[in-house]
Structure 1
Amino acid sequence: MNLTLSLAINGGTGTTKKRKQLLRDSIVVDDVMSCDGGDHHSRVVRLLQARERMMAKLEADDPRVAAAAPDDGSGGLRLMHLLLSSVAAAESGDAHAAAAALHEVWRRASFRGGDPAQRVAAYFADALASSRLVVRSSSSSPAAASAAPPTRAERFLAYTMFYQASPIYQLAHFTANQAIVEAFESGGRRRLHVVDFDVSYGFQWPSLIQSLSHAAAASTSRSNSHDDGDGDCAEPVSLRITGLGTSPDELRQTEARLARFASGCPNLRFQFEGIVDDGPDSGCIKVDDDATVVVNLVFPAAAQSSMTSSTREEECSALLARIRSLNPSLVFLVEKDGSGSGGNAKSRGRSSSVLPAFTASLRYFAAVFDSLHECLPADSAERLAIERNHLGTEICDAMASFADYNDNYGGGDDDHVAEPTATSWKQMMERAGLERVELSSRTVSQAKLLLKMKSGGCGGVGFRVIMEGEGGRAMSLGWRDRAQLITTTGWRSRRRSINKAFC
């Protein structure tokens, strides 16, 4: 079964029949959530109604999810239903019902299951049990109890394997680099300064280094062919990357890797500066008047936060103010769809419930697990390592952030269990004085070429490029019938900033 959750509408009677059966199967979860207290009971009813709306959306996302649910209880729809039931029960304060739903997920799911729905459900169940979102019961998953957190080396290796196996990160990085190169070429300068607000392992930058080196070599060759013998060779291209990260050791390792790679690229002067990101007051980013400045926002932390709408907007606004102070020629943004935050697709709004954001996260990772299932063999130890040490860690981080939200804001408006609302990134960008730029045909062609190159091992035409907005100002990566996994957009200033540094 392929658990792909898209925006198709399913009105078949078969799905309705299976829905009724699923509700009967999980009635024990709903029964133990009932309560004599009027106010508490009203909140439970609202949460259950919200859960059913989320389930209806999950069903509508892909008719195959409901149609393929087997009678043996291992179907993806039942697992999704149980996960949502656990979260709804936890939010109502019923730890017993939350634990009962999780135990049922553990009974049906498996980290080594042949179905990606089983595997993603197992990781979500363990992440919920480990977080404060669902209070840990006296017994938890045997696998979770015995498994140690992945080491830094294991996480790096898993990230590397995922980068090679799946086109998701590669498309994000290559698309951003193509836009950066075009902004640099249009600026007519020989110096490029990239400010990367989440440099991570630095995997994005070797392709940019190589592209600039090749362009500089071609420029030098043209200069020499027109030189009468008295002129100087063309000046080498200068690339400076300011990378922000949370770990000093990781930043040093990233610098060493990039410096080694750049040392083999002629006609390029390379410099890397790592800054530990402690928030708006971390480090001083200085830019050169003679350099073309671009800002890289690939999966920015602010976009993936599960904070309240107002707090998230404050953090994003502070980030954008910092960016504006650099007066960049281009700001390139890549957002994940629903990975904890609602990235490109969704945000919390004024909801006091985590159900909408939890559902968005579940949809995203279900699609990623499904796509990885197609990219690697069913018995692949590499796939298991990726799911355990990279995707599983991301799921744990997302669930922990939801628990932080509940701790800080769980006492909000109990009468309001909102649906996800449209992202405010576009509005915040525009309020910060930025406007979208049209993505070039070369950028789109390169993305399609990358998918064509990767399609042999990843489900044929499972991945697809989706152009959105007026004039092609947004490009998304979709999986099968799903709307999108990630979305890329380019931005530039509408008016010039006079600040040249932010300290």
Structure 2
Amino acid sequence: MGVPLQLNTVSDPATPAFLTKESLDVREGEVLFVNSIMHLHKYVKESRGSLKAVLQAIKKLGPTLVTVVEQDANHNGPFFLGRFLESLHYYSAIFDSLEASLPRSSPQRMKIERGHFGEEIRNIVAFEGSERIERHERADQWRRQLGRAGFQVVGMKSMSQARMMLSVYGCDGYSLACEKGCLLLGWKGKPIMLASAWQVAKASSS
């Protein structure tokens, strides 16, 4: 199509001081898209100031679209027992979906279970304060946080395409739903992932 594209990968952690047009080499007249995949929850601190600062920095970049993919779970409670029980139910669904999708001998599955989800569970239940960075939240909470930061949700219009992609896995346990502009992925009735798209609200872009 003759449209030049440039991809800038932001390393972790992405501080508000780094999220500037100068640091990211955003040039005048360019159209900017921000894609955050399972990243923003790491800024959900107990005071919420860190996430607010990151979202404000993203808004100042003037992006045309911001896409957010996060785990749809409540792992940010202040009490251990609540987080433990929520993690138990959530990751039971996750591991059950892996059992149905990948054979037990799959190196890919073992890497995901031990290296990724295993470390997440450990951080959620065994750490506190600033050391606890796996602070996943539910879709409603993400809508509130992004709305307060000056973003408005853009309705998802690709349900049929998403369902077609999901059918490729040949597994009946997954479900898709669109709720208040968010695309929700579930496993046997349990929400596990959410995807949403956002624009800077007109009232806050000035």
Both structures adopt the same fold (TM-score exceeding 0.5): yes
1:292 corresponding residue in structure 2? 31
1:303 corresponding residue in structure 2? 41
For 1:422 and 1:332, how far apart are their aligned partners in 2? 14
1:329 corresponding residue in structure 2? 64
Pair 354,406 (structure 1): closer, same or farther in 2 beyond 3 Å: farther
2:112 to 364, 368, 386: 386
SS of 1:486's equivalent in the other structure is: strand
For 1:278 and 1:333, how far apart are their aligned partners in 2? 15
Higher strand share: 2
Instruction: Quote the offset at 1:478 in angstroms.
Output: 0.7
Is contact 1:347-1:422 (8 Å) kept? Answer: no
Instruction: Quote the offset at 1:433 in angstroms.
Output: 1.7
Higher helix share: 1
For 2:121 and 2:82, how far apart are their aligned partners in 1? 16
- After superposition, where does 1:167-316 map in structure 2 within 5 Å? 216=1, 236-246=2-12, 277=13, 279-282=15-18, 284-300=23-39, 302-304=40-42, 307-308=45-46, 311=47, 313-316=48-51
1:428 corresponding residue in structure 2? 145
- In structure 2, what residue type is equivalent to 1:279? T
1:369 corresponding residue in structure 2? 95
Ranked by relative contact order (alpha carbons within 8 Å, sequence separation 6 or more), the top structure is 2
Pair 355,421 (structure 1): closer, same or farther in 2 beyond 3 Å: farther
Give the length in aligned residue pairs: 197
CA radius of gyration, larger in: 1
SS of 1:297's equivalent in the other structure is: strand
For 1:334 and 1:328, how far apart are their aligned partners in 2? 17
Is contact 2:71-2:194 (8 Å) kept? Answer: yes
Pair 392,288 (structure 1): closer, same or farther in 2 beyond 3 Å: same
Task: Summarize deviations over 1:15-35 as a string: whole Å, max 9, x none.
Answer: xxxxxxxxxxxxxxxxxxxxx
For 2:112 and 2:131, how far apart are their aligned partners in 1? 30
Consecutive unaligned residues of structure 2, counting only runs of 5 or more, are: none
Instruction: Quote the offset at 1:330 in angstroms.
Output: 0.8
2:129 corresponding residue in structure 1? 405
Is contact 1:297-1:334 (8 Å) kept? Answer: yes
Instruction: Quote the offset at 1:304 in angstroms.
Output: 4.3
Pair 306,396 (structure 1): closer, same or farther in 2 beyond 3 Å: farther
- In structure 2, what residue type is equivalent to 1:465? L
Is contact 1:306-1:405 (8 Å) kept? Answer: no
Instruction: Quote the offset at 1:359 in angstroms.
Output: 2.4
2:53 corresponding residue in structure 1? 318
TM-score (norm 1): 0.36
For 1:293 and 1:347, how far apart are their aligned partners in 2? 31
SS of 2:164's equivalent in the other structure is: helix
For 2:120 and 2:186, how far apart are their aligned partners in 1? 20
SS of 2:10's equivalent in the other structure is: strand
Question: Which 4+ stretches in 1 moved above 6 angstroms?
Answer: none
Pair 381,296 (structure 1): closer, same or farther in 2 beyond 3 Å: closer
Pair 306,295 (structure 1): closer, same or farther in 2 beyond 3 Å: closer
Pair 241,461 (structure 1): closer, same or farther in 2 beyond 3 Å: same
- In structure 2, what residue type is equivalent to 1:474? C
Task: Summarize deviations over 1:265-320 as a string: whole Å, max 9, x none.
Answer: xxxxxxxxxxxx352223623422322111112112x4246742xx2x21110011
2:201 corresponding residue in structure 1? 494
Task: Summarize deviations over 1:407-426 as a string: whole Å, max 9, x none.
Answer: 99xxxxxxxxxxx9985322
1:360 corresponding residue in structure 2? 86
Please state if 1:445 is matched with 2:160: yes
1:464 to 143, 168, 175: 175
Consecutive unaligned residues of structure 1, counting only runs of 5 or more, are: 1-215, 217-235, 247-276, 409-419, 499-503
For 1:475 and 1:421, how far apart are their aligned partners in 2? 12
TM-score (norm 2): 0.82
Instruction: Quote the offset at 1:474 in angstroms.
Output: 1.2
